[in-house]
């Protein structure tokens, strides 16, 4: 058994059964090993940002890591932006990165690069295997690292000779993962004290706390104490809709967020930090906590949020049934195809247990109220702020959950970063409908230009924010990669196309002309 | 004047008149400053790999840097692969990377990342400006760094508040660039001694040595001494064709390269290292220098190659006229559309001073003999081995040289990494014809799977190497971004489409079905 075979075997034994790949020469033994060992599903992406974004989407839905297979430093480089997003989502990922043979690196061949240096800013765990005999053990440790806490980015660099040399018969067992723990008793008591104070208190959450079971507990606490439940704009996975406890989203625009938070006296943090602005703006604060408000760190992202919230429920004796959202989807709109018309169709047509992957940036800001009483669904958002996560994340989520409809709300500017994901959707028959908002601009930046006080833009500046000249033809673009597409210019057209897209499986794209 | 304005002003004064951009919120002041200051042409790319690849192509043709404008760590991350290629091409580039305001970084907002850490593996020079008053001086130093030697990657990180705060009236002058020097006298004498020995001697070159004037000097040395002139497979810019001295290209396949070099006794290096294999393979050497051959380092990449070769000419008294290539373009082929038929059409139709950007990977290996006696042209190749450089590099070259035809020979697998470049070609009206080799696979990897001894691939492995299911429709794909495209399936069709593409300006794509 060579090193590559021993690694595939260990990964499979450690519970990794899916690999998102964009391999090159230095990964050929790994690719060949996939057929010999078995048990690993492989999905090809035509660009590494698609590969890492798919791994992120997969991890968010499966609560366990997939592997990626990437080609040396530059291949890893192409995956960095979506690894950044995955890191901020606390998604577990095991990156396998091929390198030159150990004895070849010093010759500075064209593809030689500092892979560990590139990996460091986005990885929690990094190791370069020194020999074929170490590869399996290193692989088991990489999986352990990726499964630790809420989920981590582990990067294992595999020089080509460690893949093709003899690995020996050593067959290391999977490395156990440390259990996630509840919060300390005094943190529970402090939080309970704030909640019982009668003052305006927020339980501010992310991570595992935003799943149905944990939200139910949080809802019980709200029923008992009158607190508010909140989360930031972007969360890895938030279970919303009918039957779930309502959570207020702190908005992206700083002035709106400041108004939402202005009278809060206590913020209890579960899995997240105190609310901060996405960007700094002149004459606006970075930290959105109002003066005099006390911040209580109840649990970080790696705690067992279900246990933490259960302890808090017990401490407060908050055992009455919580208030949960009704099922009351909005009516459809007619006439002009506004963002409200789209939001209504989304809330109206969204099927049971849909996965909504949102990268609509400006166009999607008004979607929340219209989906609040829709069928129960999972809402995935852009946790790291690096656009180009949507299409790959939707693809990975669809591969993780083939029995669920994935709806990807996507801006035109964002879509272009990782547009190659559509090809993988077509190849794998992913059940994804992409709603593509074609406003022919980086619309968010037009607002930001004003927000940062940069003044009235001139022609040169506007040319950097507009995506016209030429207009992108989204139906042609999707069609070229095997994804059927339609264009909607009225609410009626969109409603009809959305109804069909929900009813029929397989990938499709609806271009919304705004 | 704010920091952003002072930076734009200094860049322009330092000779930077072109900026390739993909900005975000933290770069809005820089974008706004472009209109206020003037003198900077801005070109938008829809993905940062396009931006850095354009800057590479521009630098290769202009021998001076452009700026890029990138959005925080993940935006820089997307540009890394083509910065890696640019670094290996010794292209000068000034990266301007926006960051959070200095006081906002510590709050770990979603886009916060270790930008310096990401920049280090691909940058020769890095600095984060601490305040608005430092920005102009740092900008001048960044340009100096990028223009030092053959060309370097300089990365200047600009926290948002250093862009919007008052910069003061200080207006630093451009920082002078150290002159490039010739080789030491004893290195010249050693090289001359080897050349005069009568033994099989190679002058192995890259960088500035591959331009017409330097090649003429090398040709004089060859005429006098009977030496051979050689270069590696991939060079930043190689002036070839009629009227230039012939240079032998050491081939990518290791066994072919070993045969080319087996009887060489001396290798004189001008701007490059001794020949090494692109990848290591089991039972093949990394270094391709035969036993007993002596390697003489005459000049590194940063020396003045013209001066070095002139000194060698003088030392050898090699003043007779060199042998230069005849103009004798190949005849066109008929019938099947083979790679030879394409090579013939390329050599036949290539106009005077065309710029050929080659990323055809497997399909283009046979192009050299058929273009050797074509009209004089510049041949740009994939210096860093990270595929996805071709379309952006061709775009940047076309923007640098609007009066020259750019021909981009591009593999289908490679094209998909940075396909967004076609949109910029359409927007800017770039005179680029892309010849797209559609073989529906990563063809090179099928060969490499055998070369590394990984055995016969199974179905899973082949699925990672084939780009079918679905086939990409290249005419639709190009058309969706505003680039007209045609499909060729016979030699006659291709010849006609190539003739029209050469005759008419503007971007177009020819899909070659192989």
- Count of alpha carbons within 13 Å of B368, Cβ hemisphere only? 16
Residues A182-218: b if buried by 16+ CB within 10 A, e if exposed: bbeeebbebbbebbeeeebbbbbbbbbbbbeebbbbb
Subunit contact B111:A481, Cβ cutoff 8 A = no
Work out the average pLDDT over B408-430: 97
pLDDT of residue A65: 98
Per-residue pLDDT averaged across B370-379, rounded?
Answer: 98
pLDDT at B374 > cutoff 80: yes
Report the half-sphere exposure of A301 (CA within 13 A, side-chain side): 18
State whether residue A250 sits within 8 Å of chain B by CB.
no
**B257 contact A CB<8A:** no
What is d(CA A228, CA A309) in angstroms, rounded to the nearest whole number? 14
CB contacts, 8 Å: B383 with chain A: 110
For residue A317, the SS3 value is coil
Query: Are the Cβ atoms of A454 and B28 closer than 8 angstroms?
Result: yes
* B35–A458 C-beta distance less than 8 A: yes
pLDDT at residue A101, rounded to an integer: 96
Name the least confident of A451-465, B225-239, B269-283.
A451-465
Quote the pLDDT of residue A502: 96
Nearest to A468 by CA among A443, A493, A494: A443
A278 and B444 within 8 Å at the Cβ level: the answer is: no
Mean pLDDT of A195-200: 96
Q: How far apart, in whole angstroms, are the C-alpha atoms of residue B254 and residue B389?
A: 23
Shortest Cα distance, chain A CAs vs residue B99, angstroms: 10
- Position A114 scores a pLDDT of 98
* Closest C-alpha among B77, B151, B154 to residue A74: B77
CB A82 within 8 A of CB A70: no
3-state secondary structure A104-138: CHHHCCCCCCCHHHHHHHHCCEEEECCCHHHHHHH
Cα B357 from chain centre: 8
Residue A464 and residue B120: Cβ atoms within 8 Å?
Answer: no
Higher-confidence residue of B170 and B325: namely B325
B55-75 pLDDT, tens digit each? 999 999 999 999 999 999 999
CA-based nearest distance A321→chain B, Å: 35
Does the pLDDT at position B169 exceed 80? no
* B338 interfaces chain A, CB cutoff of 8 Å: no
Strand B432-438 relative to strand B406-411: parallel, antiparallel, unpaired? Answer: parallel
Q: Compare CB distances from B470 to A35, A161, A426 and report the shortest one's residue.
A: A426
Q: How far apart (Å, rounded) are the C-alpha atoms in residues A80 and A90?
A: 15
pLDDT above 90: residue B199: yes
Percentage of residues in chain B with pLDDT exceeding 70?
100
Q: How far apart are CA B124 and CA B154, in angstroms?
A: 6
Query: Is the pLDDT at A19 greater than 80, yes or no?
Result: yes
End-to-end CA distance of chain B: 57
Task: Give tens-digit pLDDT for A282-297.
Answer: 999 999 999 999 999 9
List of residues 6+ apart from A503 with CB closer than 8 A: none
d(CA B394, CA B151): 19
What pLDDT is attached to residue A9? 95
SS3 A142: helix
The neighbouring-strand residues paired with A296 are A268
DSSP summary character for residue A42? E
Q: Is B280 in contact with A100 (Cβ distance < 8 A)?
A: yes
Q: Under a CB-based contact definition with an 8 Å cutoff, are residues A134 and A168 in contact?
A: no
Residue A284 pLDDT: 93
The whole-number pLDDT of residue B423 equals 98
Rounded-to-integer distance, Cα B306 and Cα B213, Å: 7
pLDDT bucket at A449, cuts 50 / 70 / 90:
confident
Contact A507, A432 (CB under 8 A): yes
Predicted local confidence at residue A470, as pLDDT: 95
Non-local CB neighbours of A186 within 8 Å, separated by 6+ positions: none
β-sheet with B66-71: strand ranges across: B41-44, B18-21, B66-71, B93-99, B153-159, B125-128
Q: State the pLDDT confidence band at A41, using cuts at 50, 70 and 90.
A: very high
Q: A245-269: per-residue pLDDT in tens? A: 999 999 999 999 999 999 999 999 9
Distance (Å, rounded) from C-alpha A453 to C-alpha B32? 10
Q: What is the pLDDT of residues B249-288, one digit of tens each?
A: 999 999 999 999 999 999 999 999 999 999 999 999 999 9
Best of A30, A280, A362 to substitute, by most chain B Cβ atoms within 10 angstroms, is: A280
Sign of CA dihedral A90, A94, A98, A104: positive
> Among partner residues A100, A453, A469, which is closest to B279 by beta-carbon distance?
A100
Residue A94 has pLDDT above 90, yes or no: yes
Inter-chain CB proximity B417 and A73 less than 8 Å: no
pTM of the model as a whole: 0.98
CB within 8 Å: B445 and A28: yes
Question: According to the model, what pLDDT value does residue B511 have?
Answer: 97
Span A18-22, average pLDDT:
97
Q: Which residues of chain B neighbour A164 with C-beta distances below 8 Å? A: 282, 452-454
Using a CB–CB cutoff of 8 Å, tell me whether B34 touches chain A: yes
Cβ contact A74–B81 (<8 Å): yes
B39 to chain A, closest Cα gap in Å: 11
Interface of B with A in 438-457 (CB under 8 A): 444-445, 448-449, 451-455, 457
Q: Is the pLDDT of residue A337 over 90?
A: yes
Q: How much is the average pLDDT of A466-477? A: 95
Rounded to an integer, what distance in angstroms lies between the CA atom of residue B57 and that of residue B383?
Answer: 12
CB-nearest partner of B423 from A382, A385, A472: A472
Task: Please determine, for residue A455, whether its predicted confidence score (pLDDT) is greater than 90.
Answer: no
For residue B34, the chain A residues in CB contact (below 8 A) are 458, 460-461, 464
Q: What is the mean pLDDT of chain B?
A: 96
- Interface touch A74/B464, C-beta < 8 Å: no
Query: What is the Cα–Cα distance from A72 to A113, expressed in whole angstroms?
Result: 7
ipTM over 0.95 threshold: yes
Mean pLDDT lowest for which of A216-220, A303-307, B179-183? Answer: B179-183
Q: Do B452 and A47 touch (CB under 8 A)?
A: no
Q: What are the chain B neighbours of A113 within 8 Å (beta carbons)?
A: 84, 121-122
- Which H/E stretch holds residue A433? strand A432-438
Sign of the C-alpha dihedral, residues A216, A220, A221, A227? positive
Q: Which residue in the set A88, A164, A464 is minimally distant from B42, CB to CB?
A: A464
Among A67, A460, A477, the strongest candidate for a mutation testing the B interface, having the largest count of B CBs within 10 A, is: A460
The whole-angstrom separation of Cα A256 and Cα A246 is 19
Regarding beta strands A238-240 and A377-380, do their DSSP bridges make them parallel or antiparallel, or are they unpaired?
antiparallel
Q: How far is CA B319 from CA A269, B73, B218, B398, in A?
A: 80, 53, 11, 36
Q: What pLDDT shows up at residue B514?
A: 87
pLDDT at residue A452, rounded to an integer: 84
Tens of pLDDT, residue by residue over B437-486, are 999 888 888 888 888 888 788 888 899 999 999 999 999 999 999 999 99
- The residue-averaged pLDDT of A341-363 equals 95
């Amino acid at each position: 058994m060579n090193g590559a075979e021993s690694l595939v075997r260990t990964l499979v034994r450690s519970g990794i059964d899916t690999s998102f790949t964009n391999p090159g020469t230095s990964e050929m033994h790994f690719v060949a090993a996939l057929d010999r060992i078995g048990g690993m599903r492989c999905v090809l992406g035509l660009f590494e940002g698609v590969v890492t974004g798919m791994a992120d989407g997969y991890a968010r839905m499966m609560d366990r890591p997939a592997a990626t297979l990437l080609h040396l430093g530059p291949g890893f480089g192409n995956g960095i932006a979506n690894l950044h997003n995955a890191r901020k989502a606390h998604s577990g990922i095991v990156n396998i990165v091929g390198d030159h043979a150990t004895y070849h690196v010093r010759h500075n061949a064209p593809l030689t690069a500092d892979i560990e240096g590139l990996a460091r800013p986005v990885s929690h765990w990094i190791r370069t295997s020194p020999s074929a005999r170490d590869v399996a053990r290193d692989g088991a440790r990489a999986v352990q690292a990726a499964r630790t806490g809420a989920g981590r980015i582990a990067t294992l660099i595999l020089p080509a000779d460690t893949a093709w040399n003899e690995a020996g018969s050593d067959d290391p067992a999977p490395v156990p993962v440390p259990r996630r723990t509840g919060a300390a008793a005094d943190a529970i008591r402090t939080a309970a004290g704030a909640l019982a104070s009668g003052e305006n208190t927020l339980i501010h959450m992310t991570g595992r706390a935003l799943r149905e079971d944990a939200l139910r507990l949080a809802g019980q606490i709200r029923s008992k104490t009158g607190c508010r439940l909140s989360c930031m704009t972007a969360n890895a996975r938030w279970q919303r809709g009918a039957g779930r406890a309502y959570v207020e989203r702190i908005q992206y625009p700083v002035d709106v967020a400041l108004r939402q938070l202005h009278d809060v006296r206590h913020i209890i943090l579960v899995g997240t930090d105190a609310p901060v602005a996405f960007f700094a703006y002149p004459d606006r604060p970075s930290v959105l906590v109002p003066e005099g408000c006390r911040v209580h760190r109840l649990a970080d992202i790696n705690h067992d949020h279900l246990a933490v919230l259960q302890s808090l429920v017990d401490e407060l004796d908050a055992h009455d049934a919580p208030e949960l959202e009704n099922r009351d989807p909005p009516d459809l709109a007619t006439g002009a195809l506004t963002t409200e018309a789209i939001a209504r169709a989304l809330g109206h047509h969204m099927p049971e247990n849909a996965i909504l992957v949102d990268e609509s940036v400006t166009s999607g800001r008004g979607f929340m109220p219209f989906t609040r009483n829709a069928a129960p669904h999972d809402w995935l958002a852009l946790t790291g702020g690096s656009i180009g996560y949507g299409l790959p994340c939707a693809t990975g989520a669809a591969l993780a959950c083939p029995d669920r409809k994935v709806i990807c709300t996507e801006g035109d500017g964002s879509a272009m970063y990782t547009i190659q994901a559509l090809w993988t959707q077509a190849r794998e028959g992913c059940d994804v409908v992409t709603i593509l908002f074609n406003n022919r601009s980086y619309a968010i930046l037009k607002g930001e230009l004003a927000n940062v006080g940069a003044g009235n833009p001139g022609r040169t500046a506007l040319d950097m924010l507009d995506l016209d000249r030429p207009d992108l033809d989204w139906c042609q673009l999707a069609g070229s990669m095997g994804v059927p597409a339609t264009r909607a210019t009225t609410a009626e057209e969109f409603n009809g196309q959305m109804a069909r897209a929900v009813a029929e499986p397989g990938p499709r794209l609806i271009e919304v002309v705004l």
